[in-house]
Structure formats: C-alpha cells, structure tokens
Copies of this chain bind each other. A is one copy, B any other.
C-alpha cells in the first residue's frame, strides 16, 4: 500500500510472477477486497499467489513510529510477522523504509553483533562488478543510521560484503570507506577508527578509503558510509540523472550518436539511462535482521516490484543471512561491547 503508485503495481507484479516463476509463491499483504478486485482484472495462477488481509497500513508521508503503534496489523508488521513465523522466507516493500526497519526490529530481531540496521542501495557505475559483470555497486547505509559510529561502519562493511558475495555471487567483494581523502588518517574520527579496524580483518577485501569521484567510476564493489552522507549521495545521483532524463527516452538521439561514432557520449547517455532505470534493479536489502527484507524504490512499477521479489528469493535461497551471521563472527569486537 505504501508505494507511490498504490497497490495496483504490487498486485500486477505478483500476478505476473505467479505465471512466470514456478519456484516462487507470493503472499500479498493488504486489504482483501481491493486486492481481489485488482486480481480479477488479470491472469494469475492462484496456486502461487495468496492474499493476507489487513485494513491497516503505514502512510509514507508521516513518521512511521506512531503509525505502527496505532496499527498493530499494519501491512508491514503483518509481513514481518509472516516471515518471523516461517510462513514466508523474505519480505518485500515499496513503502516507508523507516517502517520496514521498525517492523523488522520488532518481529525478526537483529543478527548477533549488529547494533543498528542499514539500508543499501544499488548505484550504477562505469566499471562492472563481480562474475556477472553487474554494472552497479552497493552503497550503504543510505538512511537507516544517520550517525554511524566506527563500529556501525565496520558492521555495514561486513554485511555489505556478505550480501554481495551471497546475492551477486562475487566471492571477494572489494569494500571501501567513503571519505575526504584516500589516506588512512583522512575523515572524521569514526571513519579513521573504522579504517583501522577494517584493515585488520583478513576475511574482508578492504580497499581503504575512496573519495567522491570514485563513486561514479565504480572503483569498488561495496561503498560504506553513514546513512546521512549515503542518503545525500544517492539523491544527488538521482538528481543528476533527472537533469538529462529526457534524453534517455529519445531512441532516435541515441541512434544518431552511435551512427556518428560518438561512443563515449552514447555510453554516457546509456549510463544515465541505467541510473534512472530503477525498474531493472528492483530492490536493495535492509541488512542486519535475521531474515531477508528487500526495499523497492517508492516509485517502483510492477516490473521493479517483480524484480525486488526475485532479489528477495535469491537472498533467501543463497542463505544470505547466514553469510551475514558468519561475517559478523569475524569482526574483532569485544564481547562486552555487544
């Protein structure tokens, strides 16, 4: 219910998945009447799709805490409960990230050693990554934990690396801290301290600090920063995309450019197109909980929602959470600090 385009896109995605993928079953959590009416309008396989009814849901334009307290059957709480009870293997939402984090904390609990959750995002890069040559990198945190401590940053690095290895099949993801210089002493104290700790973890392929210019270049596979900085960076990338957005729709323009041999320009446009193409990314994980939770962009249409569900299935099948748990045991934190 919380996505920008209402329940229709979510229902369409589930209907499509029920026809295309015989290895997935989707539970739609929301108002039964509205969902049934939307389902009546299209083809779907009822053996692979069911509806879990609730009238309550979190509005994305107001703080989630009070709304969750007032609505114990809010759809995101119900979804988290279904996952906690083993009736589903992963949760997907296009609604408020804050609500998803609070609901996950309440019903799923955090992985041992994780003090604060983090929200990842997939960002397009010039360089390609991993065995599938994905044209994107993982940026985290992008808004769950605004003031990240050194320990939080180290945890995000371990979780991001674990996610990339489990879901993108990248056995040794390169991980870096975002800072104002590549030298180990650069950055505020929490970044300097996180750098020191990460340098000593053998299980991680730590590339040190990267700077802002390395983000579009795609120097590393996983970029680690505080939720505040990550959120500003992510929205800036979106804003830069918007500025040249109309181009990307113009097939004629791109053909001309290719015809003229302007490959670099053409690939620049292609990069921007990919940047805007949230549909093909689908979703990014909320990390730190004992079950996979995938956040799709609020503006997702049915294709992006379906892709987010596929990402969720992949995270569940690859046992992503176990990989995160193992990564956490490699961290040199004192038991006292847990």
Given known pairs A212-B235, A233-B232, A253-B265, the reply for A187 and B243 (CB within 8 Å) is no
> How many residues on the A side are at the interface (Cβ–Cβ under 8 A)?
47
Assembly CA distance A188 to B296 (angstroms): 24
**A236 contacts partner chain B, Cβ-Cβ < 8 Å:** yes
A250-279 Cβ-contact flags toward B at 8 Å (1 or 0): 100100100010101100110100000000
**A217 contacts partner chain B, Cβ-Cβ < 8 Å:** yes
- In the complex, the answer to whether B232 meets A244 with C-beta atoms within 8 Å is no
**A12 contacts partner chain B, Cβ-Cβ < 8 Å:** no
**A146 contacts partner chain B, Cβ-Cβ < 8 Å:** yes
Assembly CA distance A126 to B246 (angstroms): 15
**A229 contacts partner chain B, Cβ-Cβ < 8 Å:** yes
- Interface hub of A242, A244, A271 (most chain B Cβ within 10 A): A244
Assembly CA distance A215 to B234 (angstroms): 12
Instruction: Count identical subunits in the complex.
Output: 2
A33 to chain B, nearest CB (A): 33
**A104 contacts partner chain B, Cβ-Cβ < 8 Å:** no
Residues of B within 8 A of A236 (CB): 212-213, 215-216, 233, 236
Given known pairs A213-B236, A213-B239, A234-B212, the reply for A244 and B268 (CB within 8 Å) is yes
